Amino acid sequence: LYAALLAAAKHAIKRHEPNALSRAAHFLWSDYRLALFWWEPVELLRKLTLTGFVLLISEEHGLLRTLAALLVSLCWTAGQWALKPFKQPVDNLLAVVANLALTLIFLGVLLVKTCQVAAEACEHFGFGGSADAIFLFVLVFSLVTIVGFVAFSLRELVHRSKLIASVLRLRATGALPELRRARGITYHLFLSHVWMTGQDQVAVIKRQLQLCLPGVRVFLDVDDLADIGRLETYIDESAAVLIFLSKGYMHSRNCLREARAAMAGDKPLVLVHEADPQKGGLPMADIRDQCPADLAAFVFAERQALQWQRVSEYQRLALKLIAEHVLGACPVSNYADPLEVECRSQGLYFKGEVACADLAFARPVTLLVSDHNPGAAELAAELRAALLQATPPRARSSRSLAELRFSVAAVSEAERETIGMAAVLSRANPAVPEAAQQPGALFFLLYLRDDTFAGEAGERLAEQLRLLLAAGSPFDPRVLLAHETDRVRSGCEFGRLCLSTAFMI
């Protein structure tokens, strides 16, 4: 019956197109790899063989029964180890250990029965005429073998876990996400881009998604386009569409065809923005202005674009957010199963990543910002707000622990001398809490952007830094550099800052 159910649901399972039958039979195949979704009926056949079919051998040939069971278990253990049918490595390990233990039990039973039938045969084994010694030997040998096998397998699991640290998992369960496809859907994601300024970036997106989201199918023209006239069909066959916003996208006829096809099919959109002008980037305001009126509401309404990053840590975050959109476009297994919906809502994570909720200060810390450093106070306030928001709800109060341990103090040379850098170095600045005046508890934020060190304010900022760098006490603030790359926030190339005279202090 199980085999018949899986055979009938074969196409729905292998094509990730769930139907009523595949959902009903979900318990039969969901724990196994896609290539071995039929493993459960074979497992049941093994159990029936060991508990029922061997009894067809007459009781007079008890040794033959045990030998048959031993051979079946031995072959099954080897097959289990070679094929690894389960999705989770731990499940494969437990299955092999269980079958190995069963095989050793049958081996012990065979030897004990042999001793009972023929005492002289037992003596040839070197255990005398009693079966007790051979039973003890098999018991000790089995324990040593299983412990050694488990230790070796755990070492392999640890080694493999380091190799797959770049794979995304469900935050709720730690399992790999299942990327199902609805009927008629071939691709999980369609990459819409303009060749001149977006080809390299989307190629990286596809390659990285395939690494961190196993099983994902991504449409990229250089790999999958067979007929330019079928662009609309490719969109229809995709669960979601990623629009890579770069210079020239809104002027490309084919890109607009893809966007309009996505709008006609009401496809979920993921917007990824190239902000670097040297890489074909364009400000979002210009892209919005260039967008045709009939597409603007669909493309930009209630949707925030992800900024494409090249620094690996930030790029992983962008990939994770893209992957969460892809997962959200996949159908659930059982008619909006509440448990699966809840698991998806908690998002994905990379193994070993640090979440904001994991960050905390072990002691009071004060961040100094200069009134002569444009944007530094706003950045510090944004950082402080993000820290408070990341504090677990149960730890929040009218003044939370994070708020008490992280403060921001302004330093100015234009006001009274008691709030300047010299006052900080002499421990006379009233804005710095006494508890934060400890080694490593004071930091000076230097926010680097296009207007840093400009004009009279820049000269005063440079003077503050000279005073700070000239001091050598461990109690003095350490400088934290924050480089702004977003042009909307007056970002600039780091090379321009290196050429600044004031920067070379």
485/490 Cα distance (integer angstroms)? 8
pLDDT at 253: 93
Residue 103 scores a pLDDT above 80: yes
135/130 Cα distance (integer angstroms)? 9
Task: Outline where 164-219 has alpha helix (H).
Answer: 195-212
pLDDT at 96: 85
pTM for this entry: 0.62
468/483 Cα distance (integer angstroms)? 19
Identify which has the larger pLDDT, 119 or 254: 254
**Residues sharing a CB contact under 8 Å with residue 127, sequence separation 6 or more, in sequence order:** 115, 133, 134, 137
Whether the CB-CB separation of 205 and 246 falls below 8 Å is answered with: no
Q: Which two tokens stand for residue 383?
A: 């950082």
Q: What's the 3-state SS for 421-461?
A: HHHHHCCCCCCCCHHHCCCCCEEEEEEECCCCCCHHHHHHH
Per DSSP, 355 falls in state P
Helix (H) or strand (E) holding 348: strand 348-350
Per DSSP, 57 falls in state S
Half-sphere exposure for 209 (CA within 13 Å, toward CB) = 28
pLDDT at 235: 94
Sheet holding 478-483, edge to edge: 406-411, 365-370, 442-448, 478-483
Whether the CB-CB separation of 141 and 323 falls below 8 Å is answered with: no
Residue 68 scores a pLDDT above 50: yes
Ramachandran region, residue 363 (left: φ > 0; alpha: ψ -120 to 50; beta: rest): beta
Question: Could you tell me what percent of the chain has a pLDDT over 90?
Answer: 18
Cα angle 223-229-233, degrees, rounded to a multiple of 5: 75
* Residue-wise pLDDT tens digits, 232-269: 999 999 999 999 999 999 999 999 999 999 999 999 99
- Tell me the DSSP string of 291-309: S-HHHHHHHHTT-PPEEP-
Q: Which of 112-116, 393-397, 457-461, 466-470 has the highest mean predicted lDDT (pLDDT)?
A: 457-461
pLDDT at 434: 58
Q: Which of 1-15, 40-54, 145-159 has the highest mean predicted lDDT (pLDDT)?
A: 40-54
Whether the CB-CB separation of 466 and 388 falls below 8 Å is answered with: no
**Residues sharing a CB contact under 8 Å with residue 382, sequence separation 6 or more, in sequence order:** none
- φ, ψ for residue 86, nearest 5 deg: -80, 155
Mean pLDDT of 281-298: 90
Dmax (CA) for the chain in angstroms is 106
**How far from the centroid of its chain's Cα atoms is residue 422's Cα?**
46
Give the domains, in start order, of the chain with CATH numbers.
31-163 (no CATH), 187-350 (3.40.50.10140), 357-504 (no CATH)
Nearest to 319 by CA among 229, 327, 467, 280: 327
Count of C-beta atoms within a 10 Å radius of residue 275? 20
169/161 Cα distance (integer angstroms)? 12
Whether the CB-CB separation of 398 and 441 falls below 8 Å is answered with: no
pLDDT at 335: 46
Whether the CB-CB separation of 288 and 271 falls below 8 Å is answered with: no
Whether the CB-CB separation of 366 and 405 falls below 8 Å is answered with: no
Strands 218-219 and 269-273: unpaired
